[in-house]
Amino acid sequence: MSDRKTISETLHDGIGMVFDVDEVLYEEGTGHHQLSLIQNPVFGKVLVLDGAVQVTSRDEFIYHEMLAHVPLAAHENPADVLIIGGGDCGLAEEVLKHKRVGTLTQVEIDVSVLDFSREHFADFNAPVFEDPRFQVEIADGAVFAAETDKRFDVILVDSTDPTGPGAVLFTTDFYRNLKRILRPGGIVVSQNGVPFLQPEEFSKAMKGLSSVFETASCYLVSVPTYFGGHMTLGWSSDDPKALSVSEATLTERMAGIETRYYTPAHHRAAFALPRFIETLLEDAVNT
């Protein structure tokens, strides 16, 4: 019998993903979450929150680049950006690569997650905390969206899956509040899960978004950590023109920004959906 140490992701019923543990770097119940950080020989540092993998140091750039650069490159003037969630600050790092961004507000419910990430993921998030454009609000994201007087050009919802404290970030009331604080022509992008394994969650989210925004669609990103096929990122706006920005314009807006996954050509291709996801999307927005 093997005596190797392992940790299992328990997000999906009936299947799991097992990580070998070279070392347990950190483990704690934070009050809001059960948090573990391990060292894995393939993915490097792996952050597990309430039994679900959140981020790894090996492939974080894939998810964060696509969540940030697609809406920011598509928007004419993304001066004020809001992140709800995103406690590892990898998304903030990508957002702040854009010189057109004037302010970035990040709302995180648990200050200990930010403190933890600053200490353990400094290899990719250290520049964030030195950037004067970056400010943090320690608050419930849903409450912030309902109560704030601030307005934003781009809103990025980097949430956990729709269970526990994160469930409220997948409700129609929350989407209405996002629209309330979104400036005309603004864009909302949200984490909408893996449709092959989470079809009901995906459909519910897209139905809610389409009931609030004139344009509700999604695009794809393939992240090795988030197994089960393509992950979808929901795209919502009242300005359909942002979906048809030319590759030449995207290239111009991304000038000087180094990426390892995102390209303007891939930006446009990511909206081409496999048939089963396209069908789920059409059924959700048309019912």
The catalytic residue positions are 158
For the chain, the straight-line distance linking the first and the last C-alpha, in angstroms and rounded, comes to 53
Tell me the three state secondary structure of residue 108.
Answer: strand
Using CA atoms, how far residue 142 sits from 50, 90, 197, 201, in Å, is 20, 21, 26, 18
| CA of residue 225 relative to chain centroid, distance | 14
Angle at 196 between CA 193 and CA 200, to 5 degrees: 65
Q: How far apart are CA 115 and CA 275, in angstroms?
A: 42
DSSP structural state of residue 118: H
Closest among 265, 267, 262, 225 to 242, alpha carbons compared: 267
